[in-house]
Amino acid sequence: MTTASMSFGEWIQRQRKARDLTQQALADRIACSLATVRKLESNERRPSREIAGLLADALAIAPETRHLFLDVARGVRSVDALPPPDSPALSAPVTVTPRQVRPQALRLPTPLAPLIGRAQELEELTHLLARPDCRLVTVNGPGGIGKTRLALAVAAAQDTVYHGEVYFVSLVAVQTPTLLPQAIAAAIGFTFGVIGEPLQQLLAYLRAQRMLVLLDNVEHLLVADVPTENAVETQLLQIVEQAPGVKLLVTSRTPLNMPGEWAFELHGLAVPPTLAAVENVEAYDAVVMFVACAQRTQRTFALAPNLLPAVARICRLLDGAPLGIELATAWGHVLSYAEIADEIERNIDFLSVDRRDLPERQRSLRATFEYSWRLLSADEQRSLARLAVFAGGFTRDAALRVTGASLPLLSALVTKSLAQRNEATQVEASDQDAAPAPRYELHELVRQFAAAKLQTDATDERNTRRAHARHYLALLQQYGPLLTSHQQKRALQQLTVELGNIRQAWEWSVVNGEIDLLRQVAWTYWYFFELRNYFQEGEQTFRWAQTQLQQQLTDIEKPAVAILWGHLVTHQAFFTFRRGHPDAALHLLDAALPILRRHDDPAALADALWAQGAIGWVVGAFDLAATALRAALAISQQTRLHWQLAVNHMFLGIVLHEQGDYLAAEHDLGIGLHLARQLGDPRPISFATSFLSRTAQMLGQYDRMLDLLQEGVRLATETEDRFGVAIAMEQLAQGNDALGRHEMAEHYYNQTLALYREIADAWSLGRLLSTRGRSVLERGDVSMALTYFQEALQSALASNATPNGLDAAIGVAEVMAAQHRLAPALVLALAVRQHPASTRLAISHAEELEARLVLQLTPAAIELARQRAADLTTLEAMAALFHSSHYSLENSV
């Protein structure tokens, strides 16, 4: 079929299939619904200009064909102007959008049972959310009243309003308010960048979004002992103020009491009044709920007239609380409902005397739980109490290993409504052939009741928590090799599901001095945080742990303790660096390295030396970096630490490149890439391909350069590593520029800029902006070049990236020379050439510029420039030089 006989919809359909994309996959890439894609392919609608641009990216339209494609998409040109689908003239080598490399978002979980009643509440909440002035609604009420179930129904009804951008954030396993941004980001599929606080990065992303976010179970995060800026109320207020397209639906036992909140108090389901006629009882929502719950445990249950008084009484005693009704009906197959009502009332009377601090509705739920508890067998009681230690749910295997609860025991607790079996809480595994394990969870109120029972036996509680910690840290250790293999994506998904349990296990182990266990898992925990870009949490986690260790243990020099402390400080240092504080990070490593050198843990010492080398590279301390990396490399070679061996070769190659030794750099980068490929770890493979391609370009190996970069982009895209994608695409831009493919280069520059800005990576952004500035300067656009160099210099200042700033400074100097500001241009060139953190390439540019300028300036001006350059030892001083409008050398030409 030729394009002359095709419609645009048919053309899109064939191109989609040629790219091996389903309609849903294409919808995800262009940020629209499946229905929209179907309408586009059936010619029922034309794409908007924005959607047409996203289509061009998703369907890999080459830059030279892009404008033509957009014209055809908008109906300006006919389809026959396009090449046939998937022809060589059409295809770009690689193209990705930020959305393509965003992790899969968690939308709404599937409720286990239909919503009963609540028609009026649904209508009122829907009306509130439709109001332009209502941005945050809190559904508040006591535990077990049905807040989550109602909120899910409200959110589901908003799906079409928000075009599928409706998300669920469970906060049950979130332990501190500072982790709220991570919880929201994980739910909506946002990945944090390299530089910047998580909340600020999240806000920057949310400003351009339109979505509804359901935050479930926030009450335990409403604490008074946190700084105001970290309080949940403060964080939510910033979202409301700065992200006008985002609405928040919150469930909490208490209102947030914050500006902009619309509080919606939820009560129990309607119950029959005491004197209601029997024939009217079944019309009340609480009774309807009772019947539905009873039929789940007794399939043939029917509301016979003789049952009505007891059923109505139970509903009244529980004040229509859905959880209480569910617990009460679970025993209907072994007891009469009159007996159940009597027991609930008896327990309420007891609690009224014994626990006057409990609100009346809370006493009725506790009474129901106490009655249910007494009817359990000893094994069921023991299992339920122990299950309270889990945070965020658990698998059948975890329940057995931690609590001894067998499958029959779990099933019995599910049947009695004390536990829930919910497959929807398991994220999809990347291995499509492996069915995800079902997960179990306790309603938060039931978990709290069960936890109180566990606390009555201090020995059993300690043993259970130790078993929990050991199980989940063993799970973390088990996934360590997978994180450094081709199964990295699957490992990340599984560990993210269990993150609440892992956090709790780590904290218990730190507090209780589990030295050996912590040593075994510290590296894997670090790498998990690194791959997820959880830099703030990583820094806080390891800082808190090493501080706790110092407080608990008097002999920090005891070998096992000292080595663990060295591990913790090394990882804290790395995340301190990742958060933009390299000097503080190097200071921490200076403290850790002497202790690690005195004790026998080669892996810990190699990690610390590698961190010192990596940070030294970024700040331009190339001699320090090379020395540290060679030492780490020697240790890794002796101990056959394969991952460390790969990254040490790789980073040493990067440093050698910066020093201008391109052949040596090629050697080490090549070894690093070979080892990384053997491991299958996508992160170092993407990193090595990108930086080796840079070296290949300097050596004139252009075909090899492009092959490496294509591999890097594809791999990083498949693993949803946006940082890896951005680095590879940055090098693709430079490579195409060097080959004279300027339109292709422009395409990659724009995509990389968008990615770096979205992930808030000021360090990489500064480097890219300098490269972009040089590209447009070489084509004669001095004004645009200056814009890029100035922004690059500011990014370098913000991220303490001295080499990047020096690259930008020499660019600024070349712009000044083009503007005939020759003397200050020479000052900058001399300052860059003399600076110890300048890369070999920056020095080369500075030498070339210096050679041109000294031919145009007087000897006196040159001497004065040399004197002034000696004083320019910081990026701040260089930036100030450019902005000075009355520079004394201007008239010395």
Instruction: Classify residue 751: in a domain, yes or no.
Output: no
pLDDT at residue 64, as a whole number: 58
Task: Give the 3-state DSSP-derived string for 30-91, with helices as H, strands as E and coil as C.
Answer: CCCCHHHHHHHHCCCCCCCHHHHHHHHHHCCECHHHHHHHHHHHCCCCCHHHCCCCCCCCCE
Instruction: Classify residue 99: in a domain, yes or no.
Output: no
- Which secondary structure element, helix H or strand E, spans residue 252, and what is its range? strand 246-252
Question: Which CATH number goes with the domain that contains 81?
Answer: 1.10.260.40
- How does the average pLDDT of the chain come out, rounded? 84
Which residue reads 């780490």 in tokens?
632
Count CB atoms within 10 A of the CB of residue 688.
30
* Domain finish residue from 213, 232, 265: 265
Provide φ and ψ at 31, rounded to 5°: 60, 45
Which segments in the chain show pLDDT lower than 50?
A: 1, 88-93, 97-101, 350-361, 424-434, 885-893
Are both 804 and 838 inside the same structural domain?
yes
Q: Which residues pair with 249 in a beta bridge?
A: 137, 214
What total number of domains does the chain contain? 6
Token couple for 382: 């023991």
CA 641/CA 483 separation, integer angstroms: 15
Q: Which CA distances in Å does 219 have to 3, 27, 250, 319? A: 60, 36, 10, 22
Are both 282 and 256 inside the same structural domain?
no
pLDDT at residue 108, as a whole number: 83
Are both 145 and 249 inside the same structural domain?
yes
Instruction: Classify residue 371: in a domain, yes or no.
Output: no
Task: Tell me which residue range forms the domain holding 51.
Answer: 3-92
Are both 382 and 414 inside the same structural domain?
yes
Provide φ and ψ at 420, rounded to 5°: -125, 140
CA 308/CA 338 separation, integer angstroms: 10
Provide φ and ψ at 318, rounded to 5°: -90, 0
Question: Which CATH number goes with the domain that contains 466?
Answer: 1.10.10
Q: Which CA distances in Å does 100 have to 27, 269, 382, 427, 721? A: 11, 44, 47, 18, 10
Instruction: Classify residue 20: in a domain, yes or no.
Output: yes
Instruction: Classify residue 749: in a domain, yes or no.
Output: no
pTM (2 decimals)? 0.77
Are both 552 and 627 inside the same structural domain?
yes
* Domain finish residue from 496, 521, 550: 496
CA 626/CA 658 separation, integer angstroms: 11
Question: Which CATH number goes with the domain that contains 518?
Answer: 1.25.40.10
CA 160/CA 156 separation, integer angstroms: 9
Are both 509 and 428 inside the same structural domain?
no
- On the 0-12 / 13-18 / 19+ scale of CB atoms within 10 A, 789 is buried
- DSSP characters for 752-793? HHHHHHHTT-HHHHHHHHHHHHHHHHHTT-HHHHHHHHHHHH
Instruction: Classify residue 326: in a domain, yes or no.
Output: yes
Count CB atoms within 10 A of the CB of residue 71.
15
Are both 572 and 625 inside the same structural domain?
yes
Question: Which CATH number goes with the domain that contains 838?
Answer: 1.25.40
Closest CA to 672 of 702, 638, 637, 704: 637
pLDDT at residue 767, as a whole number: 86
* Domain finish residue from 677, 711, 745: 711
Are both 414 and 469 inside the same structural domain?
yes
- On the 0-12 / 13-18 / 19+ scale of CB atoms within 10 A, 432 is exposed
Which residue reads 């998904």 in tokens?
493
Are both 231 and 307 inside the same structural domain?
no
Token couple for 706: 């492009």
Instruction: Classify residue 331: in a domain, yes or no.
Output: yes
End-to-end CA distance of the chain: 69
Are both 459 and 586 inside the same structural domain?
no
Are both 471 and 514 inside the same structural domain?
no
Which residue reads 């992930």 in tokens?
759
Instruction: Classify residue 238: in a domain, yes or no.
Output: yes
Count CB atoms within 10 A of the CB of residue 707.
14
Question: Which CATH number goes with the domain that contains 191?
Answer: 3.40.50.300
pLDDT at residue 555, as a whole number: 58
- On the 0-12 / 13-18 / 19+ scale of CB atoms within 10 A, 885 is exposed
Are both 330 and 396 inside the same structural domain?
no
